[in-house]
Chain A
Amino acid sequence: MIKFEKVSKVFLGDFVALENINLLIKKGEFVSIVGHSGAGKTTLLKLIYAEEQPTSGKVYFKDRDVSTIKKKHVPYFRRNIGMVFQDFKLLSEKTVFENVAYALEVAGKSNQEISEEVPGILDIVGLSNKMEKYPEQLSGGEQQKVSMARALIHCPSVIIADEPTGNLDPTSSWEIVQLLIKINGMGTTVILATHDKEVVNKANKRVVVLEKGKIASDIKKGKYTV
């Protein structure tokens, strides 16, 4: 489903973020990408959703070379991928409902479709009673759930989660990971970048360890070993 072929990424000032990465992620897999800060986890994810382009090598998404996607088509491409971030990236001036609905609005869905689909997905993440609240009225864990609901609304084939538990307490973190596992159980590929040891160990899924931009290990059912 996602394939990295000899991918390197060098930023300005010769900073090597990734070096000769070869990685294959199959459909329906749950992969944790772990490593210290600056190991290249976020860069690796950005290459998948075309926020960055590789300096050399190729990244394929469903057999399509991501670098060949024209800039103006990137937004449409991103609707195949659900994204969850450490800082939630919610629109502070929109309610929970509006934040999730926005992802459908940009795709041109009708008002009727939106009013049917949004409450359903908010129910799945357990926020159906907080639809009219604004992000600042929610706890960190709840905000991350809104962000996950937004990522799921398009029924994407992949969920990319970049340190989704970074700002959360252990209980909320575990809730989010459980939600990710549940989504994965429904057939969605999940790529989770984290340095949260607890999270990786409890998930007990494939673990790819990044060290200084290189893959240090790739274990099918691994523990956090960094």
Chain B
Amino acid sequence: MKFLKIWRTFKEGLKNFSRHWWLSFATIIILTLSLYVVSVAALLGIAANSIIKNIQDKINISVYFNPEVSEKEILKIKDDLKIYQEIKSVEYISQNQALDEFVASENNDPIINQALEEIDENPLLSSLVITAHNPNQYEIIAQAVEGSGFRDKINQINYEKNKATIENLNKIVGLTEKAGLILGTIFLLIAVLITFNTIRLNMYSRKKEFEIMRLVGASNLYVQMPSIFEGIFYGICAAVSAMAFLLITARLIAPLTKGALQEGDLLSFCFQYFWIIFAGIIMLGIILGMVSSFIAIRRYLKI
């Protein structure tokens, strides 16, 4: 019996959806715009976070050791440093490795090669490259290294040089998170209000129909169900179109984000998380459509 009623109201909803196609079309456009704005805001937020993470991973501080300190000693210090919770990884760069990297970074410039040959010894120092879990922990790490027992073996810590960059990044991270949250909430509220109003107008145009249904003995739920299904159909259609627009947007912005994301660019990011993003938009669309219909129709049911 219950299944029969659900099936009937589902069919009724589908009929209303196609019969009032112009109204459905208008509602879907508004819902698509709302979903698009919210998902673009969310996508940019996630992408910005990923970009920042990517930059964070590239930030580190190097501790250079005096030439007379042996590799064995440095490796012992490396093990000691690993105890700190704040430290994510410590990498040992030997003098030779440093030289190879330097030469490679200068694209085997013949002038530099010649200069190195003239010096006849490796002018670079062995170092430990420390990466922290969080960029705001570098200061503590730098202080810890400065105050450690092996301070006299250290030639230089490049923290001061990177300090400004690290602090700036910290600020940007904080700001993006806050701005993303505030903007996202505002967009979501606007989306909810616009969608709700559109569906309310849609329901208003059919209030006489609801009154008749009630008088004929239909329970409130029976009158509401077709509209709730309609809301779900709006949500699904709008989510599919919003997803299409989102991919087009990602494709347009993709060249700007090349290399900034671990996933490559924004478009590959979208494709990698396609199902998660799509599921999110569909869920939001269905909830928006369904809840708006449910609330809008209650007015005409004297509940």
Contact = CB atoms under 8 A, between A and B. Distances in A.
Interface stretch (A101-109, A116-124, A164-172, A198-206): A101-109
A103 B5 contact: no
B251 interface: no
A75 interface: yes
Interface in B212-226: 212-220, 222
Chain A interface, DSSP helix/strand/loop, else mixed: loop
B151 interface: no
A187 B99 CA distance: 109
Most buried by A among B8, B219, B220: B219
Chain B interface, DSSP helix/strand/loop, else mixed: helix
Most buried by A among B8, B217, B218, B302: B217
A91 B212 contact: yes
B215 A108 contact: no
B139 to A, nearest CB: 64
Using C-beta atoms within 8 Å of the partner chain, give the interface range for chain B. 10 to 19
A20 B277 CA distance: 65
A93 B19 contact: yes
Given A71-B303, A89-B212, A90-B212, A107 B217 contact: yes
Interface in A91-149: 91, 93, 102-103, 105-108, 110
A91 B220 contact: no
A58 interface: no
B140 interface: no
A83 interface: yes
B212 A106 contact: no
Contacts of B5: 108
B4 interface: yes
B1 interface: yes
Contacts of A71: 302-303
A103 B219 contact: no
B1 A108 contact: yes
Contact of A110 (B4, B209, B218): B4
A195 interface: no
A6 interface: no
A102 B222 CA distance: 11
Given A49-B215, A72-B220, A75-B218, 14 more contacts: A51-B215, A75-B214, A75-B217, A75-B219, A75-B220, A76-B217, A78-B215, A79-B217, A89-B212, A105-B8, A106-B218, A106-B222, A108-B5, A110-B4
23 contacts: A49-B215, A71-B303, A72-B220, A75-B222, A78-B215, A78-B216, A79-B217, A90-B212, A91-B209, A91-B212, A91-B213, A102-B213, A102-B218, A103-B217, A105-B8, A106-B213, A106-B218, A106-B222, A107-B217, A108-B1, A108-B5, A150-B216, A154-B217
